Structures are given as C-alpha cells and as structure tokens.
Amino acid sequence: MSSAEESRQAKVISELRTFIRKVLSDPTIATKCMEIARQHKGQPDSAKLIAEEISANTIVRIPEEHSDADKIFLDIINEVLDDEAALY
C-alpha cells in the first residue's frame, strides 16, 4: 500500500471517528439524520439535499465537496433506508 493511500485511509478513519463521537454524545443525531433522509429519499440529488439539511439541523457538518468519509456515511444512510423499505 502506498504512503498516499495510507494517508487517505487514516484521514477517512479520523473523520469517521469524529462523526461517531458526535453521534454518541448526542443520541438524537442518528434519529434526526434518518428523518431527514426519509424526507429526501428518491429525489434528484438526494445525497446533496440530505447532506445540506443534516449540516443545517445537527452538529454534523458535511461540506459541499463530500469526502470519502461523508460518502460512506451517506451510503450507510441509504442502506438503512433500503433495509427499512424491505421490511414493509
């Protein structure tokens, strides 16, 4: 593995650790993120809309230019929504 790739992975891990700390410090964040995601599911540019509203309404900040960690978080949100839909 190259040094650049190791550095990128370390950055992703650091960002995810920061996010997990925020979620654990305020248990309402996960619920709020999922409520926001449900509102925008299926809309064009839903990831962008979800990221903007999460940033505006929680302590989680997702910049306009999504990092790898941001993309992972948004992918996980969509997986949870897909799991919810599969239950019904």
pLDDT of 1 above 90 = no
Tens-place pLDDT, residues 46-60: 999 999 999 999 999
46 lies in which domain range?
Answer: 3-87
Residue 54 is predicted with a pLDDT of 96
The candidate with the shortest Cα–Cα distance to 33, out of 2, 74, 4, 82, is 74
Query: Helix, strand, coil shares of the chain as percentages rounded to 5?
Result: 75, 0, 25
Tally of domains within the chain: 1
Q: How far is CA 22 from the centre of its chain?
A: 12
The candidate with the shortest Cα–Cα distance to 23, out of 87, 78, 77, is 77
pLDDT of 61 above 80 = yes
Contact 49, 41 (CB under 8 A): no
